[in-house]
Amino acid sequence: MCGLTGIFDLGDRRSVDRAMLREMNDAIGHRGPDDDGFYVEPGVGLGHRRLSIIDLAGGHQPMFNEDETICVVYNGEIYNFAALARTLSEKGHHFQTRSDTEVIVHAWEEWGPSCVEHFRGMFAFALYDKNRQTLFLARDRLGIKPLYYAFTDDGFLIFGSELKSLLPYPGLGRELDPRSVEDFFALGYVPDPRSIYKSVQKLAPAHILVQQRGKAPASPHAYWDMRFDRNDGIPEGEQADALRANLEEAVRIRLVSEVPLGAFLSGGVDSSAVVAMMAKAQPDPVNTCSISFGDKDYDESLYARKVAKQFKTTHHERLVDPEDFDLLMHLPQIYDEPFADSSALPTYRVCEEARRHVTVALSGDGGDEVFAGYRRYRWHDYEERVRRVLPQALRGPLFGLAGGIYPKMDWAPRPLRAKSTLQALARSSAEGYFHSVSILSNDVRESLYSEAFKRDLQGYRAVELIQHHMEKAPTDHHLSRAQYVDMKTYLPGDILTKVDRASMAHSLEVRVPLLDHQFVEWSGSVAPSLKLRNREGKYIFKKSLEPMLPNDVLYRPKMGFAVPLARWFRGPLKARVREAVLGGALFESGFFNQACLHQLVESHMSGVRDHSQPLWALMMFAGFLDRVHGKKAKETQKVAV
């Protein structure tokens, strides 16, 4: 895995500041500690950091075509590069290396911008064509690899693998985007294509940007989208067989590496499935890595050991201190943008453990989005069935009144916690699903924001993002629409961002076979009734794995990578919470209602309510303001935890 940076003059061929380009590139040195490289000529500069995986000797970047009129810097892996190289060789192209990077150069020569349609893998790259005076930016279909860019006021297009690679540029606007702040406090991350800054965009998954010199700033456009072409006539057994075969291939093509390779193994269904397929595909024992917490409420290590024993893996397990909260002070520097998924803490630790043994690790990320594994899909399915029976004109008043009267009882058994469901049933489909994925409710955000910040929002609310993707979804089935929303928002914005930054902080490459785009496309043909069957999410996925994995791995309750925030915030982190939430950067921002901040803190500390999620989000936002955006942003920060 690697990192890339660059500067491109839109209008002329002004000289590029080499020292600035190097500073931008050095900001992401953790992504590629093995090598760096630069290409600078009038009007353009490209930088690269390399983590050597394939063609260790010949894969130096930037990489060129034969006459050096085309240059590329690239982050990712193209798994079908050998087949593409053969095809391109037959068309007259000459290869100097065994690297997948060189395939990009010749694919551009042959197919132009449509070259990305031939790539099977994860990638973000920047290609400069000297003859066409064109810069080409591209990102993979599911958004596994990141790419940020900005058009600056001084007439340049700058870009990089992480936001921190753009921040040294002196002409970069640093005004916060109020819409992104609202998105963050609603969802826990800043969704594509926005960033926390007005001036910076993320290139969205499955998008390209073609910028010609002398032309106005270009707009990105999509080259791929998820489809749901249901085929309800295939028997369940045949679907299960096809799923195993497709997954086996997706795993097999990701085993190409010239450095040590292994897998994360949490003991959950998805990571266990990947390990099972790896064990089948290779003769040597699989290197597996997991962490344990010593706390049965948050520990899946027993199941990880069981799977490791079944497949005779070389298993590495690290016991993490259950009070492992010191890392949280460094998360803002790792993620750059505000990021409120607390499972970033254990994800960082499992990546740290994996890097001690391997350079490449396969993960099970994506299974819940692709095969409807989240509990919220089950609730959305139930709510949609009610919505189909009762029209909005009746549901709104009926359930809205009931939800308003019913007490909020977070402490009660689940059957008695009906307030949230009643409120969801009063809403439209998009509003109901937004309610289920929100980390802070509409009421809490309304109370949290200052009047000045509400004016800055100009009426924008994060639910508009969910509404947009639901309306755009190429399906009329409510479950598929919810999956589509997650593939456009939660998957790239939270899950893949979390893993990319945590792994890259340790110079570890993570490959994601469940997000192989051909496998994902195939999953779109599977009937929703085979994904969610009664109360069982990922139904067909689990059925297909019954010959390979024990039932107590396949059918036990989902745990996730949780951490005990509520207890931490009332105990060892009590003082830190007060300091972060009630003073400093949050107070100075002017975004928040101070009375609401005090109420959240005191209510949580007294045990009246569990406000750990909003408090965590506020702490992460404060950390961003202080350590990335504010005074401390210019200090040299080195994470060493």
Among all residues, which ones are annotated catalytic? 2
Alpha-carbon distance of 412 to 430, in angstroms, equals: 27
Q: What is the CA radius of gyration of the chain?
A: 24
List the one residue out of 91, 134, 51 whose CA is nearest residue 503.
51
The 44-50 sheet, strands edge to edge: 35-41, 44-50, 2-9, 156-160, 148-151, 200-202
Question: Which residues, in sequence order, are CB contacts of 503 under 8 Å at separation 6+?
Answer: 1, 351, 361, 509, 510
β-strands 35-41, 44-50 pairing: antiparallel
| Beta strand residue intervals within 320-384, DSSP E | 360-362
Alpha-carbon distance of 196 to 176, in angstroms, equals: 6
Q: How far is CA 503 from CA 55, 303, 369, 506, 611, in A?
A: 21, 23, 21, 5, 29
Q: Please give the torsion angle defined by the CA atoms of residues 588, 593, 599 and 601, in that order, rounded to the nearest 10 degrees.
A: -30
Alpha-carbon distance of 189 to 166, in angstroms, equals: 19
Query: Are the CB atoms for 79 and 254 separated by under 8 Å?
Result: yes
Query: Are the CB atoms for 139 and 145 separated by under 8 Å?
Result: yes
β-strands 2-9, 156-160 pairing: antiparallel
Q: Tell me the two tokens of residue 139.
A: 């990102």
Alpha-carbon distance of 354 to 263, in angstroms, equals: 8
Alpha-carbon distance of 338 to 623, in angstroms, equals: 8
Question: Which residues, in sequence order, are CB contacts of 442 under 8 Å at separation 6+?
Answer: 435, 461, 463
The 287-292 sheet, strands edge to edge: 314-319, 287-292, 261-264, 360-362, 509-511
Query: Are the CB atoms for 162 and 28 separated by under 8 Å?
Result: yes
List the one residue out of 609, 600, 610 whose CA is nearest residue 565.
610
List the one residue out of 169, 131, 134 whose CA is nearest residue 149.
169
Q: Tell me the two tokens of residue 498.
A: 């979390």
Query: Are the CB atoms for 128 and 182 separated by under 8 Å?
Result: no
What is the SS3 string spanning 115-161?
A: HHHHCCEEEEEEEEECCCCEEEEEECCCCCCCCEEEECCCCEEEEEC
Paired strand residues for 148: 160, 202
Query: Are the CB atoms for 565 and 605 separated by under 8 Å?
Result: no
